Amino acid sequence: MANYAWPSRDEAQVIGKKTSRLDGVAKSTGTAKYTYDVNLKGQLIAKALGCPHAHCRITKIDTSPALRVPGVVHVEVLRDAGSEIEWQGEILAVVAAETEGAAAEGVKAIRVEYEPLDVFVKDYDLEAAERAGRTSSGGGRVQTEREPGPNDDEDKFADAEIERLLKASKYVVEGFYGIDPITHCCLEPHGSTVEFKDGKLLAYLSTQNVSGTDDGFARDLNLTASDVEVRCDYIGGGFGSKFAPDYWGVAAARISQKTGRPVKFMLDRDLELKLAGNRPSAYLKVRVGADENGVIQVWDSHHWGTGGATGGAVSQNVVPYVLVPKNYRRRVTNIKTNAAPARAWRAPNHPQACAISQTVIDDLARVMGKDSYDVFLANLVNATNGKADVYREQMRIAAELMGWKEKYHLHGKGPRNGSIVEGLGMALHTWGGAANNSSCTLRIRPDGSVESWCGTQDLGTGTRTVCAMVLAETFGLSPADVRVNIGSSKYPVSGASGGSTTVGGVSESHRRAAQDALEKLFALVAPKLEAQAEQLEAVGGRIRVKGAPQRSISWKEACALLGDMPLEVTQSYRSGTPSPLSSSQVAGVQMAHVAVDLETGVVRMKKFVAVQDQGLVINPKTCASQIYGGVCMGIAGALFEQRIMDPETGAFVNCELSDYRLPRLGDVGEIIVHLYEPDSERQRGVVGNGEPPVISPIAAISNAICNATGVRVPVAPYTPQRVLEALQRRA
């Protein structure tokens, strides 16, 4: 076994160099085949009938009119008469037909009768939820520096202690903060193109989890997982919502089994938004007390929210977020609503926790009449992740890139230009991002070709390119010289892409396999070069003796020494194994500059700065793209997107893209990304960065709006209407 390590910054030939993604041309000329694009010969197109009611019982369902529609081949009923439906959009039946038009017509022809049941969707209204019996405790925690005595009632002691600390505080902030639910809204909707043939299933599935979804299909179809192949060469967005075949994927497979024809079943846009993933809301009431320096000494909060019909609210573990004072009390109430269950949304819990707690720090600065930067700086003593020094340095860099010092004014005290005021805000975040399980099989053929197989997937993060870069670096080749195969459940098992764990996992498995293979190759080459294997290195397409580069042979000549037997190596990394190649825990700081129109309430992004640590950066180009993208998604959550439900009927009223507002190119302003990679971080190895950059934007933008106007707009998204309401409340 080789001595696994990364090359130093100076030695590295490929790693750390901006590299265009290898599948870039395929994507930008439309030849990349996504699940939706796979057309199998003789395929049926399936469409779903979603329940129009948020809570009801099916009393009758008659699919026979659908079967009479020309072109309709099969109707699969998923919910029979008697079923209780708990959210709008739940799929009742699936129609498979020769064309999209026929399938849609078939769906319209199905006759269903419903008995309406009581609906509750007001997740923001805690009292109404309690009255409706929709609440449950999500837990809580109390931590105080002083311990209760042996005879003290713990709750009473905590009450008294919190009140005492608040009274003793120089500054007290009391407030309400919130963030509404949003959806994942993947542009490629959830779905699959499947073919059941000869007792085997081939499933092209839009998934973040090729290695872990075969068994989900198998269970339901009475197959073994080895009878199933899941493929996903390209996926049009997942963001945490595409880990399973889902019942609609299984339905497609069943229809294929019954009809003997391939089936394509992708959700329509409205069902994608209603069913296929949403992020829990969070609303928080809080009191904090701080000392004369603005360091928070006590935090007392209660938050609530909904993860829909089954999921919970935002975890209490991350409230307050990152900066946790020595004394705190926090609790959470889960609210059950008639909405589809929440799914993991990029950095689960963190964006909401950041939005409802780092806004409090900014309000403290407002109350103190101090620069928000200084108050954040003072509160770094409360950083619970050991990253205070990293944050301090990142804040310095971010402030420089933003021009914070030159531009900053106290809250609401900036110049007014017509109806426009401007402001700055910041926030900071953390994330784990440790490497996932990953296996890689590597084959070096005697003709010098290099090929790898790994059951991972590229969500658009650039995984393919990272795999190629790691192999190329190790062998002294260029990324275009190696062929990387990913995206099939038949390849060596690799973990699901979630939680920023992929780049770490695949870097581990590919580097390990490549170093092992190279060691074997060195053993063959050493006698030829009259050297020891340990003295060799692979650089610039040649294998040579360290310190004597003239003693070398080409990569091809070296591989020819393999004779007629390719060299094949499989290596695995198991998540959690300490390794010099990867690590976990990152820090990031973000700053926003906004302009607010006091007459219209419209907030415009002027500039955004993101400083992000992710250990060692393999590909700075795609790494930066993750951060640009995270910031844009954060801007979406801060200013644009929200799931709007009719409070009486529970209907999701903005479930089409014309109403579900997302930012456009002209809405995001200037974004500056800084990859924070000093030696202290680089030496930690690779850490994922998919989640971190999406965490801080909402809090940073909220703080910038408050800095501009002097008024806190309590609940995200900060729409013109909400901005105006907040301004009016002050007036």
Residue 10's CB: how many other CB atoms inside 10 A? 5
Query: How many beta carbons lie within 10 A of that of residue 336, not counting itself?
Result: 21
Q: Beta strands 200-205 and 111-116: pairing type? A: unpaired
Give the residue from 556, 372, 540 showing the smallest Cα distance to 447: 556
At 592, phi and psi to the nearest 5?
Answer: -120, 145
Q: Can residue 690 be called a binding residue for ligand FES (CB under 6 A)?
A: no
Q: Are 585 and 385 in contact (CB under 8 A)?
A: yes
Please report whether residue 714 would count as binding ligand FES according to CB under 6 A.
Answer: no
Minimum distance, C-beta of residue 633 to another protein, in the bound complex (Å): 5
Strand partners, 278: 183
Q: Which helix (H) or strand (E) holds 673?
A: strand 670-676
d(Cα 447, Cα 482) in Å, to the nearest integer? 13
Q: Which is nearer to ligand FES, 185 or 726 (CB)?
A: 185
Residue 42 lies near another protein (rule: CB under 8 A): yes
Question: Of 294-323, which residues contact another protein (CB under 8 A)?
Answer: none
5 binds ligand FES (CB under 6 A): no
Q: Which of residues 515-574 bind ligand FES (CB under 6 A)?
A: none
Q: 241 or 337, CB closer to ligand FES?
A: 241
Q: Which residue in 237, 238, 240, 307 binds ligand FES (CB under 6 A)?
A: 237
At its nearest, how many Å lie between another protein and the CB of residue 185? Answer: 6
**Could you count the other beta carbons within 10 Å of the beta carbon of residue 187?**
12
Beta strands 670-676 and 603-613 are parallel
Instruction: Decide whether 45 or 323 has the Cβ nearer to another protein.
Output: 45
Q: Which is nearer to another protein, 162 or 232 (CB)?
A: 232
Nearest to 623 by CA among 637, 612, 634, 635: 612
For strands 482-486 and 450-454, give the pairing.
parallel
Question: Using CA atoms in the order 354, 359, 362, 368, what is the torsion angle rounded to 10 degrees?
Answer: -130
260 touching another protein, by CB under 8 A: no
**Partner that binds at residue 98, options ligand FES, another protein, none, CB closer than 5 to 8 Å by kind:** another protein
Q: Is 569 or 632 the residue whose CB approaches another protein more closely? A: 632
Mark the segment that binds another protein (CB under 8 A) among 101-109, 290-298, 394-402, 575-583.
101-109
Q: Given the complex with another protein, which of 25 and 523 has the nearer CB atom?
A: 25
Closest distance between another protein and the C-beta of residue 697, in Å? 10
29: contact with another protein by CB under 8 A: yes
Q: Which of 37, 125, 163, 519 binds another protein (CB under 8 A)?
A: 37
Shortest Å distance, C-beta 482 to another protein = 19
Residue 269 as a binder of another protein (CB under 8 A): the answer is yes
Could you say whether residue 187 binds ligand FES (CB under 6 A)?
Answer: yes
Considering only residues 52 to 81 of the shown chain, the ones binding another protein according to CB under 8 A are: 65, 70-71, 73
DSSP string, 94-159: EEEESSHHHHHHHHHH-EEEEEE------TT-HHHHHHTT-EEEEEEEEE-SSPPPTTS-HHHHHH
**What's the rounded Cα separation, in Å, for the pair 396 and 374?**
11
Apex CA 408: angle with CA 614 and CA 295, to 5°?
65
Preceding amide of 578 cis, omega within 30: no
Angle (CA) 534-538-544 rounded to 5° is: 70
Shortest CB 80 distance to another protein, Å: 22
Among 305, 351, 414, 460, binds ligand FES (CB under 6 A): 460
Cα–Cα dist 407/402, whole Å: 8
Q: Which ranges of 21-78 would DSSP assign to H, the alpha helix?
A: 24-28, 64-67
Q: Which does 663 bind (CB under 5 to 8 A by kind): another protein, ligand FES, none?
A: another protein
Our CB check for ligand FES shows the closer of 306 and 461 to be 461
Least Å distance, CB 504 to another protein, is 19
Cα-Cα-Cα-Cα torsion 635, 639, 640, 644, nearest 10 degrees, comes to 130
Q: Tokens standing for 626?
A: 């993750």
Which position among 215, 478, 621, 644 is part of the footprint of another protein (CB under 8 A)? 621
> First-to-last CA distance in the chain?
71
Specify the residue, 37 or 568, whose C-beta has the smaller distance to another protein: 37
Residues within the interface to another protein (CB under 8 A): 20-21, 23-25, 27-34, 36-37, 39, 42, 45, 65, 70-71, 73, 98-101, 105, 108-109, 185-188, 234-237, 239, 266, 269, 459-461, 621-622, 624-626, 628-633, 636, 656-658, 662-668, 670-671
Please report, as ranges, the residues that interact with ligand FES according to CB under 6 A: 187, 237, 460
